[in-house]
Structure 1
Amino acid sequence: MARRGKKPKGRPVNGWMVLDKPKGMGSTDAVSKLKWLYFAQKAGHAGTLDPLASGMLPIAFGDATKTVPFIMDGRKVYRFAVRWGAETTTDDTEGPVTKTSELRPNRAAIEAILPNYVGEITQVPPAFSAIKIGGERAYDLARDGEVVEMAPRTVEVVRLDIVEEPDGETTVFEAECGKGTYVRAIARDLGRDLGCFGHVVDLRRISVGAFAEDDMVPLDELLEAAEEGRETLDAEAVEAGVKARVVDFKPLDEYLVPAETALADLYEVMLSDEQASRVLSGNPVILRGRDAPVFCEEAFATGHGRLIALGAIEEGSFKPKRVFGGRG
């Protein structure tokens, strides 16, 4: 007798939530919080953000989790403050100071070396990072007192600008960079090159892939939206400590961004209802029209008012490789 699959718990929520993660909250904790808040069947994030950092943490629900790699591979923008005069074990405020200096660099000195940090550069990631060494996270090994040897890696920094100098001890930068870049390592290396040492005292991610700073939603705003949708309890239930459930998710769902937003850099194939039904069954469709491309390595198809599939265009046909939501 065939065993029936266990019914997923929660709602079949689909889309992206671009969370403005507060300081002190881990990325996994943020996903768990939003999954609970939305009562969603499936959720995941697109790129870890340190607990000490704030800012953009894109969280995918349902079918949107299939588009996570396109966000993780996209460029990211960080705004970070570097305090001069001290280097720490963690390259931020969490670890103890290991080196100090009385020297403080002026703006001209900093700007003179910034070109060295733009383009394809080689950096040694911080010992306290999520990189795996022999199957273990580097930060776990470092916290256990082991000496962690991090291999240099090549990363891309598109731009690195000074945006503010709040005092003589601190410089605020904005960096646009590719996957795998550590701004804590940039701060550490800048300090060493300037002969004054440095570490990050504030870090905020303001852009990831197709998502911009204006897309971010604070957690408190989502909590307020959840309150709007909670059931009303009578005085007796409140006194007994009964928790009100969210019964109307409309206020929360209004913050969701369509799954295809993550695919802004790909070619979009807009399908008729008939074509969409064929693609949802896993079949290719011939693209009509004078401007239809003959070949495209990566493309996505929309139809029935939603994202249908990821695939490729070969010899004038869209061929689905990953279908969203099955037969519709």
Structure 2
Amino acid sequence: MDGVINLFKPRGMTSHDAVYVIRKIFKTKKVGHTGTLDPNATGVLPICIGKATRISEYLLGVDKEYIGELTLGFSTDTQDSDGVIINSSKKEVTEKEINDSFNKFKGLIYQIPPMYSALKVDGKKLYELAREGKTIERAPREVNIKESKILNNYNNKEIIFYTKCSRGTYIRTFCDDIGNDLGTYGYMSYLMRVGVGNFKIENSISIEALRNMCERELYSVLTPIDIAISHMEKINLDSDYYKKIINGALVKLDNEYSSLIDLDIRVYCKDKFIGIGKINQFNNENYLKMNKVFIGE
């Protein structure tokens, strides 16, 4: 079986654990996720199976969507509900102040990655250092909060919100930063990932549902490889190019493809998805070079 499963990851399960479970259900070792989702979060975790493991790198950078809860007045050492409360404040904030603060954290912003994260420093994950009681300097990183809106506000204390953001955004840090901006504290008390690129929560499937499926049903819920990366541009080539592209040979293209130079693109020929290529320019002429070929494997 080859394709991507839109898994609904339950709370308390690591992404690595999810991969292990999917390996057993689909009876294959060739399984990999497309970027971790915190153990305390639920929601969309696309998992690649078979040949689809070769496209995981093209899914890492897609936008992520979340619905979360920010609880004001407290902060924890992990910036989420799994941590220990380390600060508290009785400061009252208004609805307007909360709305204004959310609006400040839109667009390109800088975040300092939390100590309780999987980022590595000198070969060691930050959360491993944090568990040893160590805190080290972390350089701010630019992220993009593309959309952010408050869905519900309970007494200016618990705020349910939606956000769409770039790769590398920490929603825990987003909550902590808003708390600090308001002159109080805040932590992420709940998180559900509702979208990873074109994979949405409404089309996700649970582990229990997968366990109850026969082989035919399991195959039917897999997203085909090319559909999984449908956020990428595509080209359809004449059948004359077929042998060249499946063998990885350079193919000269017309100038009509100049707008796609340096982009990873889906390549089709004879009404078949062949693989992923990139158009480069040499001496003012365009050439397609296949990076990954899936036909004939």
The answer on 1:27 being equivalent to 2:15 is yes
**Counterpart of 2:152 in 1: which secondary structure?**
strand
The aligned residue for residue 293 of structure 1 is 257
**1:294–1:198 distance in 2 versus 1, CA, 3 Å:** closer
- Structure 2 unaligned spans of 5+: none
My pick for the range that moved more, 308-317 or 180-189, is: 308-317
Alignment correspondent of 2:288: 318
Aligned to 1:310, the other structure's residue is in SS state strand
Moved more, 67-76 or 304-313: 304-313
Work out whether residues 209 and 262 of structure 1, in 8 Å CA contact, stay in contact via their aligned partners in 2.
no
Deviation at 1:177, TM superposition (A): 0.8
Checking the alignment, whether the CA contact within 8 Å between 1:87 and 1:97 is kept in structure 2 is yes
Identity of aligned residues (%): 30
1:163 corresponds to 2:127: no
Contact 1:295/1:313 (8 A) holds in 2: no
3-state secondary structure, aligned to 1:253? helix
Q: Secondary structure at the match of 2:235?
A: strand
Considering only CA atoms, is the larger Rg found in Structure 1 or Structure 2? 1
Superimposed CA distance per residue, residues 18-66 of structure 1 (whole angstroms, 9 cap, x where no aligned partner): 1010101110000111111111241111110011000010101122222
TM-score when normalising by structure 1: 0.82
What's 1:153 paired with?
Answer: 141
- Spell out, residue by residue over 1:210-243, the C-alpha distance to the aligned partner (whole angstroms, 9 max, x if none): 3223231122211221xxx3xxxxxxxxxxxxxx
Contact 1:127–1:149, Cα closer than 8 Å, also in 2: no
- In 1, the alpha carbon distance for the partners of 2:268 and 2:47 equals 21
Determine if contact 2:8/2:201 at 8 Å carries over to the other structure.
no
Q: Compute the RMSD of aligned alpha carbons.
A: 2.1
Q: 1:185 to 1:294 in 2, by over 3 A?
A: closer
Q: How many residues are paired up? A: 291
Q: Is 314-323 or 37-46 further displaced after alignment?
A: 314-323
Structure 1 residue 131, shift from structure 2 partner: 0.8
- AA aligned to 1:302 is Y
Q: Which protein is richer in strand relative to its size?
A: 2
- After TM superposition, the score normalised by the length of structure 2 is 0.90
* Equivalent position amino acid for 2:129 in 1: L
Written as runs of structure 1 = structure 2, the 5 A alignment for 1:44-63 is: 44-63=32-51
Q: Is 2:236 the counterpart of 1:266?
A: no
Give 1:126 shift: 1.2
2:273 corresponds to:
307
Once residues 105 and 62 of structure 1 are traced to their aligned partners in structure 2, the CA distance between those partners, rounded to angstroms, is 51
- The equivalent residue for 1:102 is 90
| Cα distance in 2, alignment partners of residues 98 and 306 from structure 1 | 57
| SS of the residue 1:293 aligns to | helix
Tell me: higher relative CO, structure 1 or 2? Use CA pairs within 8 A at least 6 residues apart.
2
Pair 33,199 (structure 1): closer, same or farther in 2 beyond 3 Å: same
Match of 1:280 in 2: 246
In 2, the alpha carbon distance for the partners of 1:193 and 1:64 equals: 43
Q: Residues 85-111 of structure 1: CA distance to partner in whole angstroms, max 9, x if unpaired?
A: 100000011111111011242321111
5+ long unaligned stretches in structure 1: 1-12, 230-248
> Does structure 1 conserve the Cα–Cα contact (< 8 Å) formed by 2:95 and 2:156?
no
Offset at residue 303 of structure 1 (A): 4.3
The alpha-carbon deviation at position 265 of structure 1 amounts to 2.9
